[in-house]
């Protein structure tokens, strides 16, 4: 019965406290300067096992140190005074500020989102028109030079921005944001420079003709804006945000709408309708029979398989690229250029393989399209005919998707072209993600999915009454379900793309099928990337094996505690020698009748006291004086990467000899769990309340009042299964 | 500084433990049979203050006892063995079962929802056609008799069903479901009989021409179905449900779609297109200017005011009705009939007041409509003209809303008719909610709102380019926002009604404005009803004053604890004398070195042990024998209202003298908080983890190991502010 055994050997470990000779030398000599009494108090549980999970993660394309966010309400004397003193006016100001902020964020995001769209449409539009024009003049080589030249220039620009200025801006950014919302903070991820690079890098990357989307980067951009305006701080992301989020969304929607209206009559160059709605089906209810359902199920199953295979390949590619990326910025840029060349060659080379298609006689739009970006690209084809593969490759991905979704022109594409396009996009998408360019995953997946769907639609054309365009929409859905697995949000996104509720049932079915199928093979692409990047993501549910362990089994040492009144030296020393962000404070006689847990003190708060040299010569309680010296705002969480550093604080010898009263800044009621509580249950508490430190207290009295501290890293399976390998069987 | 004072007088109260003479006589004599030692152990904190909040709430139209749900993971020996023993096969079975259940629920709900619609459309359709026919023949009195007769018959039927069979089926049911999801369980609310009455009562009620919706009842129906199929049990509602909920929704959507397709060509009598989409705007983007925005803002503000006034009146009416409802079932039916007569007279009488309108020459649909339910009712009007007010009153509410939303026929309604209709519906809706009939609030509010919107649209017609139908949609939105306040979900609902994303920004704005305005006056109608019904709803956020109190201040006695090995007599006695559902178990020497908190034992589990007479003559630990005698399923939570009762258990004299070992069924790691933790923080823990009992433990050692237990009722403001009236200032 594990827990008991564990209780046993964990008692053994406690005994180590007495005979410190067993603790490793370094630690011992580090502490040898301090008195024996302090010692045993300071580490009731010096364990030889320490948490070896890395505190470093890959953000974008760079390895950065990561911190955990803390949603716990800090209850110390100082802050209590603050609540008491707070006036109605201040509360009102606060509320007003919050909403003003939401408004501002909405406006900015809407603005940037629009700028992003219009820039892409115009830059790549210009590129494509130029190429097209030269092709029409028959100067094919010039066309290629122009096309390749522009592509590679844009690519190199985007790559250099990312590689040299802000590696954190590479990739989609959704994994990082997801991890942030889960409580993992990487200073660089929401930094202003990242925002800047994300915006322009994304525009350049998409214009460079890469098989990448701008949706993921847009999500990251929004997060950066919110962070920049709100100056970070974990308090900003609370479930209470629902109203404000909704409000902000409304603002964004309105800003975009008004811009689109402004652009309606061609005021914005090549930026057409803004293209929010991709698949504009006619209202009439399309009825479907059993054959159609079968076709849809088939579509979903295969889509799921291919989606999960997509994830598998992305994972492999990312591992390969990480080796190159580590070699330095210039190598990253080189990689970007190589992929750009590859993409260019595919896009310009492959259309030569397919035969020309005669223009449809009945079509509304001119064929071949000359002036603007249209359906029918006459590539090398004689007039009166067009190259259907070029019409897919040599256009913006939005237009390509529109073409594929289009239900008007059923036979527009030859099967051969569709196949070539599918294979190319599928693999280009995979090799493109992971290079040092802001790259969204949605567009590649939707593109590949919609071609796949259109192919399936053709196959079932004889038996199914469903429209080919609808098939290609469902194909996109199946691929999205197979890679991303976030059924509900995908459903909403597709609803927004199609603006038709009547399709919802079919879309839902496809999403569920493909997700379920794909789940048999591997996890969603974002979860996979989060894991690969080494971000300590806390799952919503406890792993089964956690039920077989208790909280006491997961705590890892050395546990460093302070007494309520502590030598400055000891504090400084502890801050130097450990990276801990929270330290338990133990109340001792004469200030409490028996040793008891006063609470938890945060590194950042200690630094404020040290900086202000809030010391006293003799070992006495400071009482309420602190309220004269500090205002609660002095302890407020600083914006990302702006905290006090220990290095910035200079202390004299006699400072070191003085005493510091930790009581006023000690969070007197941290959340605690008994050492015998199952790890599963403890983890649920930790996750639900968004904690950073959780105190594990002993079950029986008469022992040191704290057993250890659990942090996010202590719940990571690599840590736990490292300690208890035999638990793998329960995984 | 409050907390300190509280600490003080709460220490006083502890002292009372010693001199029990001060505790009230009844208590004392009740316990006098027991030894002094047990006594002091059993109630370390016998407080004179007890929680007086009622454990009774109004469910539907009846007062019933309520229980709290418990989402905590129970960790006792028995269950631990169960996890260990669980095979892969069993896990698979479990998963399969869960999904099968979701499918079944989806199918059934879809089926019933469809039946509900079709029944209403046909019954009330028949009624209206008959009335219409008689009116055309000029036999007005006969028409009135037919109309009134049918109305009152249906009303009486619905009323009697509710009043005599299942009072819990009265009203919308959303407040009860909301409370259930919050953790308040009232046995009757999800019972099969409630389901039955809800379905038929709703159909009859709507057919009776009441100003009530069938949406709210449908929500309640769905909950009942899920409960019936899943056999209750709190484990069923977990956040993990997202996937399955989504799946179920998909199933329902498909079932409905297929039925609607089946009905497409008039196979379902008068059930037309199923009418999912009410306001079918043309796709073209309607652009709007500053005037329109002003009009919309005005609309939102006034809508918010009227919405909150609606809530105010509903509250008043409900208080009045509760007096009548208490008089007994027959009085309830009487009330229903009175309201039915009132409604009938308004619907049939008021149209006489307005003048006839000449038929539009260009209209597509025939005028006046003869055969089917249509736009133009010739009431008393000569042929070639129609009565616009009758066209609103003498039709199903769905059609009325469609008429009001219609953007084709702008001048169809005279202002006078609109005004009369608005006032009537506004007040009928208010007096109708609360009678013993399943009554949804959506339709009344949408009806009133859309007329209001149409009126405003008329007023602004000169300056605003927005279509009148759109105004009436926004009017409905503003009323919904003003009464219900659930911005996001309302947005989705309206989106489903209109099936057009381009309206979203305007709808969002209106919703936010009206909600914000209304929030200045009172709370949302559902929260109001929840409060009125006395359901102990736990808000998501802690009240400010909770920051000024500590957990220890809110616990209320008498606290009844058991020791690990307990006399059967003591257990039985405690179960008889208290209504508590959880009892702390204290480990004592010789079984533990010092008194310590073993954990928490549940009433239901104790009853199982007592029923099985799992006793021993001498005071010794039973060890693992229990595993032979019981399987974990014996302790599984029974379906609603099927639990063991103490009365069902007969114990002899010598049984009473025996010992019972509570360790194997004790939840060894309940969530605990320090008595000094602020109530706000404790409440967040309680709410987030969905607890039923939370143990409050002492800060300093050497005191009895538990201070008290916090339950849902202890967090209710009436309880806390009752104990600490001076806290009201912080409210």
B44 within domain boundaries: no
- In chain B, which residues have their Cβ closer than 8 Å to the Cβ of A677? 75, 669
Chain A residue whose CA is closest to B691? A685
* Nearest-CA distance A355 → chain B (Å): 38
For residue B455, what are the domain limits? Answer: 290-322+353-533
* Nearest-CA distance B435 → chain A (Å): 33
- Same-domain status, B586 and B690: yes
- Chain-centroid distance of CA A621 in Å reads 45
- Same-domain status, A442 and A494: yes
Question: Cβ contact (<8 Å) for B509 and A254?
Answer: yes
Comparing CB atoms, the residue among A285, A593, A681 nearest residue B261 is: A285
Q: Which residue has the higher pLDDT, B496 or B300?
A: B300
- Same-domain status, B525 and B620: no
Chain A residue whose CA is closest to B492? A492
- Same-domain status, B550 and B522: no
The string over B13-37, giving b where at least 16 C-beta atoms fall within 10 Å of a residue's C-beta and e elsewhere, is ebebbeebeebeeebeeebeeeeee
Q: Which residues pair with A667 in a beta bridge?
A: A600
Q: Which of A194-198, B63-67, B103-107, B651-655 has the lowest mean pLDDT?
A: B63-67
- In chain B, which residues have their Cβ closer than 8 Å to the Cβ of A673? 669, 671-672
- Same-domain status, A495 and A593: no
Q: Is residue B29 predicted with pLDDT exceeding 90?
A: no
Question: Cβ contact (<8 Å) for B669 and A668?
Answer: no
- Same-domain status, B220 and B317: no
- Chain-centroid distance of CA B211 in Å reads 20
The model carries a pTM of 0.82
- Same-domain status, A635 and A507: no
- Same-domain status, A358 and A478: yes
A480 within domain boundaries: yes
- In chain B, which residues have their Cβ closer than 8 Å to the Cβ of A699? 596
Comparing CB atoms, the residue among B246, B550, B671 nearest residue A685 is: B671
Cα torsion A342, A347, A352, A354: sign:
positive
**Whose CA is closest to B299, among B495, B418, B457?**
B457
Comparing CB atoms, the residue among A73, A596, A681 nearest residue B669 is: A681
Please tell me the predicted confidence (pLDDT) of residue B374: 61
- Same-domain status, A562 and A528: no
Q: Which residue has the higher pLDDT, B710 or A373?
A: B710
A551 within domain boundaries: yes
- Same-domain status, A573 and A501: no
A18 within domain boundaries: no
Q: How many CB pairs under 8 A join A and B?
A: 155
Please tell me the predicted confidence (pLDDT) of residue A318: 93
Q: Kindly state the average pLDDT of the residues B129-138.
A: 87
A240 secondary structure, DSSP code: G
**Among B79, B275, B671, the residue to mutate for chain A (most A Cβ within 10 A):** B671
Question: Cβ contact (<8 Å) for A669 and B676?
Answer: yes
- In chain B, which residues have their Cβ closer than 8 Å to the Cβ of A240? 540-541
- In chain A, which residues have their Cβ closer than 8 Å to the Cβ of B239? 540
Contacts of A36 (CB under 8 A, 6+ apart): none
Please tell me the predicted confidence (pLDDT) of residue A725: 87
B57 within domain boundaries: no
Element (H, E) at A357: strand A357-358
Query: With left for phi above 0 and alpha for psi between -120 and 50, is residue A89 left, alpha or beta?
Result: alpha
Comparing CB atoms, the residue among B84, B488, B673 nearest residue A246 is: B488
Question: Cβ contact (<8 Å) for B73 and A700?
Answer: no
Chain A residue whose CA is closest to B242? A488
* Nearest-CA distance B703 → chain A (Å): 10
B32 within domain boundaries: no
Helix (H, G, I), strand (E, B) or coil at B54: coil
Comparing CB atoms, the residue among B496, B509, B669 nearest residue A250 is: B509
**Whose CA is closest to B107, among B267, B240, B231, B226?**
B226
Q: Helix A525-532 and helix A290-326: axis angle, to 10°?
A: 20
Comparing CB atoms, the residue among A250, A487, A505 nearest residue B505 is: A250
CATH of the domain at A120: 1.10.3080.10
The beta-carbon contacts of A291-297 under 8 Å, at least 24 apart in sequence, are A291/A460, A291/A463, A291/A464, A291/A465, A292/A464, A292/A465, A292/A466, A295/A456, A295/A460, A295/A463, A295/A464, A295/A466, A295/A471, A296/A466, A296/A474, A296/A506, A296/A509, A296/A510, A297/A509, A297/A513
- Last residue in a domain, options B487, B509, B533: B533
Comparing CB atoms, the residue among B73, B501, B685 nearest residue A681 is: B73
What span, in angstroms and rounded, lies between the C-alpha atoms of A123 and A138?
A: 23
Question: Cβ contact (<8 Å) for A669 and B678?
Answer: yes
- In chain A, which residues have their Cβ closer than 8 Å to the Cβ of B541? 240
Chain B residue whose CA is closest to A731? B88
pLDDT in tens, B158-205: 999 999 999 999 999 899 988 888 888 887 888 889 999 999 999 999
Question: Cβ contact (<8 Å) for A701 and B671?
Answer: no
CATH of the domain at B602: 3.10.580.10
Please tell me the predicted confidence (pLDDT) of residue A523: 92
Q: Is residue B24 predicted with pLDDT exceeding 60?
A: no
Q: Is residue B475 predicted with pLDDT exceeding 70?
A: yes
Chain B residue whose CA is closest to A730? B84
Q: What is the count of structural domains for chain B?
A: 3
**Whose CA is closest to A205, among A256, A169, A252?**
A169
A61 secondary structure, DSSP code: T
B453 within domain boundaries: yes
Cβ neighbourhood burial of A443 (10 Å; 0-12, 13-18, 19+): buried
How confident is the prediction for chain B on average, in pLDDT? 80
- In chain B, which residues have their Cβ closer than 8 Å to the Cβ of A73? 678, 680-681, 684
- Same-domain status, A411 and A491: yes
Comparing CB atoms, the residue among B80, B496, B668 nearest residue A501 is: B496
Question: Cβ contact (<8 Å) for B672 and A672?
Answer: yes
Comparing CB atoms, the residue among A249, A594, A702 nearest residue B594 is: A702
* Nearest-CA distance A254 → chain B (Å): 6
CB B281 within 8 A of CB B498: yes
Comparing CB atoms, the residue among B247, B502, B689 nearest residue A684 is: B689
- Same-domain status, A311 and A421: yes
A134 within domain boundaries: yes
- In chain B, which residues have their Cβ closer than 8 Å to the Cβ of A260? 285
- In chain A, which residues have their Cβ closer than 8 Å to the Cβ of B508? 246, 249-250, 253
- Last residue in a domain, options A513, A533, A553: A533
Q: Is residue B54 predicted with pLDDT exceeding 60?
A: yes
- In chain B, which residues have their Cβ closer than 8 Å to the Cβ of A3? 80
Question: Cβ contact (<8 Å) for A246 and B689?
Answer: no
Tell me the two tokens of residue A296. 């849809």
- Last residue in a domain, options A533, A559, A577: A533
* Nearest-CA distance B441 → chain A (Å): 23
Question: Cβ contact (<8 Å) for B508 and A250?
Answer: yes
Helix (H, G, I), strand (E, B) or coil at B63: strand
Please tell me the predicted confidence (pLDDT) of residue B478: 95
What span, in angstroms and rounded, lies between the C-alpha atoms of A301 and B270?
A: 40
Cβ neighbourhood burial of A120 (10 Å; 0-12, 13-18, 19+): buried
Comparing CB atoms, the residue among B260, B676, B700 nearest residue A594 is: B700
Question: Cβ contact (<8 Å) for A701 and B702?
Answer: yes
Mean pLDDT for back-to-back runs of 10 residues, chain A (731 residues): 36 34 36 38 44 72 75 74 70 78 84 87 88 88 94 96 92 89 84 92 94 90 84 46 69 73 67 51 56 88 96 95 90 95 95 86 66 70 85 86 72 85 96 92 93 91 80 92 85 73 78 92 92 88 86 85 91 89 87 83 89 85 76 67 76 90 88 90 90 88 85 88 81 59
- In chain A, which residues have their Cβ closer than 8 Å to the Cβ of B487? 243, 246
Helix intervals (H) in B137-187: 140-160, 174-182
**Among B259, B275, B279, B508, the residue to mutate for chain A (most A Cβ within 10 A):** B508
Chain A residue whose CA is closest to B684? A689
């Amino acid at each position: 019965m594990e827990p008991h055994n564990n209780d046993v050997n964990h008692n053994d470990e406690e005994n180590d406290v007495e005979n410190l000779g067993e603790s490793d030398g370094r630690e011992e000599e580090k502490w040898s300067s301090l008195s024996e009494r302090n010692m045993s108090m300071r580490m009731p549980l010096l364990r030889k096992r320490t948490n070896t999970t890395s505190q470093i993660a890959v953000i974008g394309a760079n390895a950065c140190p990561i911190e955990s966010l803390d949603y716990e309400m800090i209850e110390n004397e100082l802050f209590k005074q603050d609540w008491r003193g707070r006036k109605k006016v201040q509360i009102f100001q606060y509320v007003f500020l919050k909403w003003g902020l939401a408004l501002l964020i909405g406006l900015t995001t809407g603005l940037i989102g629009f700028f992003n769209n219009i820039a892409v449409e115009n830059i790549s539009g210009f590129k494509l028109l130029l190429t097209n024009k030269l092709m029409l003049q028959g100067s094919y080589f010039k066309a290629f030079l122009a096309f390749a030249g522009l592509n590679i220039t844009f690519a190199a620009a985007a790559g250099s921005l990312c590689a040299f200025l802000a590696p954190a801006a590479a990739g989609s950014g959704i994994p990082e944001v997801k991890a942030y919302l889960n409580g993992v903070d990487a200073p660089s991820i929401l930094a202003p420079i990242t925002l800047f690079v994300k915006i322009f890098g994304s525009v350049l990357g998409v214009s460079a003709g890469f098989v990448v989307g701008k949706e993921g980067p847009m999500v990251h951009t929004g997060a950066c804006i919110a962070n920049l305006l709100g100056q970070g701080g974990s308090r900003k992301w609370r479930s209470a945000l629902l109203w404000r989020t909704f409000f902000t969304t409304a603002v964004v929607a309105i800003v975009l709408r008004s811009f689109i209206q402004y652009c309606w009559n061609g005021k914005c160059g090549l930026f057409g309708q803004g293209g929010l709605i991709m698949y504009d089906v006619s209202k009439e209810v399309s009825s479907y029979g059993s054959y159609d359902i079968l076709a849809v199920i088939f579509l979903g199953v295969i889509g799921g398989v291919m989606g999960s295979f997509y994830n598998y390949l992305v994972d492999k590619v990312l591992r390969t690229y990480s080796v190159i990326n580590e070699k330095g910025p210039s190598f990253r840029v080189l990689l970007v250029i190589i992929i750009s060349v590859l993409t260019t060659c595919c896009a310009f080379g492959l259309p030569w393989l397919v035969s020309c298609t005669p223009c449809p006689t009945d079509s509304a739009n001119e064929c071949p399209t000359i002036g603007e970006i249209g359906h029918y690209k006459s590539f090398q084809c004689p007039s009166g005919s067009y190259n259907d593969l070029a019409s897919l490759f040599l256009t913006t991905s939005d237009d390509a998707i529109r073409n594929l979704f289009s239900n008007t022109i059923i036979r527009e594409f030859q099967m051969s072209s569709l196949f070539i396009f599918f294979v190319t996009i599928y693999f280009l998408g995979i090799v493109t993600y992971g290079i040092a360019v802001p790259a969204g995953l949605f567009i590649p997946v939707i593109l590949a999915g919609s071609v796949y769907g259109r192919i399936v639609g053709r196959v079932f054309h004889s038996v199914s009454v469903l429209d080919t365009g609808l098939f290609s929409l469902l194909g996109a859905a199946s691929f999205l379900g197979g890679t991303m697995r976030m059924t509900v949000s995908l459903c909403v996104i597709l609803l927004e793309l199609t603006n038709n509720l009547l399709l919802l049932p079919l879309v839902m079915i496809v999403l569920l099928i493909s997700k379920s199928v794909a789940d048999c093979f591997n996890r969603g692409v974002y979860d996979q990337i989060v894991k690969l990047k080494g971000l300590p993501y806390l799952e919503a549910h406890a792993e089964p094996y956690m039920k077989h362990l208790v909280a006491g089994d997961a705590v890892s040492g050395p546990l460093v505690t302070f007494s309520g009144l502590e030598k400055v030296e000891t504090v400084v020393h502890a801050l130097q020698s450990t990276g801990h962000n929270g330290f338990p404070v133990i109340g001792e006689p004469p200030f409490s009748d028996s040793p008891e847990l006063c609470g938890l003190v945060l590194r950042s708060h200690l630094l404020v006291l040290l900086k202000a040299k809030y010391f006293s010569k003799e070992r006495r309680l400071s009482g309420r004086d602190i309220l004269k010296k500090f205002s609660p705002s002095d302890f407020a969480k600083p914006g990302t990467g702006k905290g006090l550093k220990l290095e910035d604080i200079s202390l004299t010898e006699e400072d070191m000899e003085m005493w510091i009263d930790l009581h006023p800044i000690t969070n007197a009621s941290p959340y605690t769990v008994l050492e015998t509580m199952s790890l599963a249950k403890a983890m649920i508490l930790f996750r639900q309340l968004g904690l950073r430190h959780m105190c594990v207290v002993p079950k029986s009295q008469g022992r040191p009042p704290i057993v250890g501290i659990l942090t996010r890293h202590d719940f990571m399976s690599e840590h736990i299964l490292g300690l208890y390998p035999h638990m793998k069987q329960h995984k």
